[in-house]
Amino acid sequence: MSDSAGEPQSLDEKFNAAQPQSLDEKLSAAQELQRLKKLIESAEDEKSRLTLEKLASDSEKKKAQTETESWIDSEDKCAEQFRRDLEEIQEELENLDRVTQDLKREYKDLEKKLQLKRAETDSLQQRFKIKAEIPVKRVKFTHSVEEEQEDQEEHVESVFTVTQRPSYLLKGGHALITFEEEKVSEQILRLAKCSVSCDKTKMDVKPYALTLDPSVKFEVHIKVSKKTVKFRNAPPTLPEERMRDRLELSFSRASRGGGEVENVQYDKQNGTGHVTFLNTGVAENLALRGKFCVDTDSDMLVDVLPLYQYQLKKFQTYSGVPNRTVLLGGIQDVIDEEDIQDHLEIHFQKPSNYGGEVESIKYVPSGKQLMAFFSEDNTDTDA
């Protein structure tokens, strides 16, 4: 028991108060006391450790909270920047969409204009197109042309004049009539229609002024080289330099019809080229032969052609109206083709019908067509 009832007893006091009388009990009590002291010390140490850990944890918690707040703030700023960027991109996309629509409309307008221009170009090409097969004709020598001596040694020059006769496509149910005098055609063209008798019936024929298709006239100047030929079908079976050397060596052999070579040009992409000789005569002989054997790894047979130079000069286009020819339309096949043509000629020969002497007439029945050609002075018409 304690001296004062209000004061707590210490562990030692309690131990002494409860001390047993025997020695064993005293030793056991002492050991228990030591064990309890150690437990208390261990509990105090654990308490201190936990307190330190709590302090460290609180510090880490505050640091993590600060970083989290910083990250949240940064995320808010990024979200706001992203929102602004998205709005700008959407606005730019809307502008681009408007520009695209404008460009599409402009493209469609330009495409329509291009189609119109193409149609106009096709129409003009058809009007001014030169498409004619030139027949084989004997060439008449007129006179020699004085040239410089050097040019005479290098080339043979020829000049051809090509003249396209004016033409008109005469369709079915129409006729062309050419009078001897211009005033007769003028009188006929003043009439709205002409009533032509055909046996027991009559038909109304309408006269039209005739506009011919465009025609052209030009000169073709051709120069044929006396020293240079071109070759083809010579693929690069060897490196380019060796191939050029083999070509020069082969064309230099007189035994094969060649001669001393001045220059060799070779295009390995196309297997073509030019060979220029020092003397005339070699190029002509090789061009007439048409083939030549070139020594490569194996014999190569190449085509040899003359070298031409073309030049177009004095190109002229013209379109006119024949003064003495009238187009007659609205003709019906009421009788035979020859009879209709005869009745038309008889009708328009009579002065009482405002006609006159007929030089030529050609009628084309329905379902047919014919190309009529005119001479330049309009004195005759061939159909």
> Where is average pLDDT lowest: 49-63, 125-139, 348-362?
125-139
The more confident residue out of 124 and 222 is: 222
pLDDT band for position 121 (cuts 50, 70, 90): confident
**How many residues does the structure list for the chain?**
383
> Where is average pLDDT lowest: 112-116, 198-202, 355-359, 369-373?
198-202
| Site of tokens 């002291």 | 37
pTM above threshold 0.75: no
Mean of the per-residue pLDDT values for the chain? 82
The more confident residue out of 376 and 238 is: 238
What's the token pair of residue 357?
């002497």
pLDDT at residue 207 tops 90: yes
Predicted local distance difference test score (pLDDT) of residue 266: 92
d(CA 272, CA 304): 10
Q: Are 223 and 309 contacting, i.e. CB atoms less than 8 angstroms apart?
A: yes
Mean pLDDT computed over 4-15: 51
pLDDT at residue 380 tops 50: no
Q: Are 282 and 228 contacting, i.e. CB atoms less than 8 angstroms apart?
A: no
Percent of the chain exceeding pLDDT 90 equals 25
Amino acid letter for position 306:
P
pLDDT tens by residue, 318-338:
777 888 999 999 888 888 888
Q: Are 356 and 349 contacting, i.e. CB atoms less than 8 angstroms apart?
A: yes
Indicate if the alpha-carbon torsion angle 23, 27, 32, 33 is positive or negative.
positive
pLDDT tens by residue, 262-313:
999 999 888 899 999 998 888 889 989 999 998 887 888 999 999 888 888 8
Mean pLDDT computed over 33-43: 86
Q: Are 222 and 160 contacting, i.e. CB atoms less than 8 angstroms apart?
A: yes
CATH number of the 218-317 domain: 3.30.70.330
What is the three-class DSSP state of 210? coil
d(CA 145, CA 221): 12
